Structures are given as structure tokens and as C-alpha cells.
Amino acid sequence: MKIIFALLIIVFLAFSGYHLTFRGFKLPLFAREFYLKGTEFLFLGLILGPSFLNLLDTETMRGLEPVGALVLGWIGLLFGFQFEITRLRRFPLDFFTAALLESLLTFAVVFWSVYLTLPMITDISGTMRLVVSLTLSAAAACTAQTGVALLTPDFTERHGKTVGILRYVSSIDGLSALVIFAVVFFFKEPSISGFYWIGDLAMGTVFSFVISMGLVFLYIIFIASHRDEKELALVVIAMAVLTSGIASLLHFSPLVTNFFVGFCLVNFCRRKERLFKIFVGVEKPVYLLLLVFLGASWTLDSPWLIVLAALYCLCRFGGKLFGGFLVTRLNPELRSYPPHIGFGLLDQGGLPLAILFDFQRGISCDIAAGVISLVLLAVIYNEFLGPYLLVRLLKEAK
């Protein structure tokens, strides 16, 4: 009974909060970013969690796992729909390689920082040390367009060239992060000593690919015939539930599986525009549900988390700055852009939060609560720091 009551409460909060959040009020830039991203729902989840009201306790969250899997699956489908090959070809290849290189450099900086630091903080096995490092670095590699979207039209128009590459990089660099995060699910159980993990990785990749292609085939069959909007929405929801459920049963990532399905649909399905309208129609309530779930797992029981989150945020800032500097200096076609373009790539957005929630659901780890709390604090730090550095970048850009 408590599970049903908790589900009704969080669904009501998500759909009612959607009409209050994401509205443009006259607030300072950092406050608008904080409010328009729905960050207050993290604190709402914290209040509903074990630390306060205990409505979303451990047992209740376990009962709500199918809902959590569906939330991740929906986000994965929507993110996969961003990568339509015909549209990506309209942009220069230099932009695409710059986005991937910047993301991978950020990943490398954060990965080695976390990997070398973890043994000094906690007693952790070699496999779990790698899993946590991959998760934190994948979350750090993502960038969102929120800061750019909150700028005034006049300011954006004056700096259209720099804003254009920031938007492109922000929409692309999550690709490498999601691919890297998928590797986590192949390393979570077995030992990675020797070369046996290479065979496990290859077999797991092939198996996941076959399952995903089968689901894509089912999707295309159901969608091929003409259906009205209600029938099509029902088919999409049913397939999202099926895909997320199969991924959960196989102890794999609903986020990654549905991303691959979404990528295939947007490139091979003729009704992609209608599908996208359905996916994006409930994007914001789904995002708010994600924030509530994460907030319920948020623990602030150690002051050291504040310090560690600041260090993690600093490593990510260094990776973005270093990656942006290299891609603009090494590529002659991008040298007209400011070398400190990383100032505009600090917003993390919803994808790293989805990665974090997927990690919590799929990986059994003693320090999972600490990892979640650390990244959530770092996201909040970036929300205060990102807008000012973005404005500074654009003011100094040509």
C-alpha cells in the first residue's frame, strides 16, 4: 500500500510541478538556471527520503524499480533521437570530432583523478574501483545547453558563432559518455584480471546488440501500419516498458539499451516525427521523476562530501578547459574560437543524472550513496559557477 501511495505522490508532484517549473521568471541568471532545471525537486526527493519523511525508504524504492527503469528507458529513447545521421551531416566534421575529443579528454582527466584517489578515501576492490571511476568520469564528460538557452536573444545573436559550437558540442559529447558507461555493466561482476574480460566484453556486446536489434525490429513492425495518435502513444509506451524490462531482467542498462533503440528508430523509421512528439511530450515530467528518485537517495551525513564534491567539480572543470583548449588549438578550422571555450561547457544537464541513477539501480556497491551525493553536490556547484563563466566567455569572444 505504501508503494502505491508513494507512486501516486511522486507522479502527482512531477506532473503538477511541470506546470510550475521551467517557467521564465525575472530572476538572476544563476537563480533562473537553478529553478528552470527543476533542481528544487532534488531537495523534494531528499525530504521524501529516509533522511526526513521516510516515504521513499529503501523497501519502497525497491518496489518502484520498474518505474525507475521506465524513466531511464524514456530518457534513453529521447537521447537516441538526437542522433539522426542526415541532420548531423549538415554540420562540419570538425565540429563532431571536436565534440568527441573534448568529451574524451574530460573523461580521461576525471577518470585518472578518481581512480588514483579512491584507494586513499575508502577500501575498495579493484573491479569496483574501475566501475566507480568509469561512472564518475562518464557523468563528468556530459554537457547541457541550459546555460546557452537562458541567455537573452540579443546576447545570443551577437555571439552566434561561439554559441553555435557550444550548442553542437553540448548535444554530441554525451555520446561518448554513454558508450563508456555501457562498459560498466560488463565489469560489475567478474574479475578483470588477465585477458578474460576481453571475451566477456565481446560476448556481452554481441548479445546486447542482438537483443536491441530484435526490439528495434518489433518497434518498426508495430509502428509501420497507420495508427492514430492515441494508438501510437500506447504502442510507444508498451515498447518502452518492454525494452526497459528486458534490460533490467538481463541486469543491463535500460538507459543504454533504449538509447540504441532510439538511435535506430530515428534513422530507420519513417514515422520518426510523430514518435518524437510523443517522447518529448512527457520529457519534463519524466526528468522531474528522475530528480525525485535521486533526491531520495541523497545523503549528507559527512562534511567531507562537500569537499570531495568540490574537488570532483574542479577536476571536471580542468578537463573541460583542457579539452576545449586542445580542440581549438590543434584544429586549424577551429582556431577562430576562444581557447577557453571550456568555460561554456560546465552545465551537466539530465544525462549525467540518468547515468547516476542507472548506476545506483544496476550496480551493487557499498559506496553508491556517497557517489550519488558527491555528484549531486557537484551538479549544484556547476549551476552556480557555469552561468558566470559562460557570460565571461561570450563577452571575450569575437
What are 9-42's pLDDT values in tens digits?
888 877 776 656 555 545 444 445 544 566 788 8
Confidence of residue 152 (pLDDT cuts 50, 70, 90): low
- pLDDT > 70? residue 330: yes
Confidence of residue 134 (pLDDT cuts 50, 70, 90): very high
pLDDT of residue 8: 85
* 3-state class (DSSP) for residue 153: helix
Confidence of residue 227 (pLDDT cuts 50, 70, 90): confident
Cell of 38: 527543476
pLDDT of residue 36: 52
- Note the pLDDT tens digit of each residue in 193-216: 444 556 666 666 676 777 778 888
pLDDT of residue 72: 93
pLDDT of residue 196: 53
Identify residue 340 by its one-letter amino acid code. Answer: H
Do residues 305 and 370 make contact, with C-beta atoms less than 8 angstroms apart?
yes
Residue ranges covered by each domain of the chain: 81-282+306-396
Confidence of residue 133 (pLDDT cuts 50, 70, 90): very high
The whole-number average pLDDT for the span 136-155 is 78
**Helical H runs in the chain?**
2-18, 29-36, 40-48, 58-63, 65-80, 85-88, 93-121, 126-141, 146-149, 153-158, 160-172, 174-187, 196-224, 229-249, 254-268, 272-281, 283-296, 304-330, 351-362, 368-396
Hunting for cell 572543470 — which residue is that? 317
pLDDT of residue 23: 53
pLDDT of residue 309: 93
- Note the pLDDT tens digit of each residue in 332-367: 888 888 888 888 888 887 889 999 999 998 887 888
pLDDT of residue 19: 59
pLDDT of residue 88: 82
Confidence of residue 74 (pLDDT cuts 50, 70, 90): very high
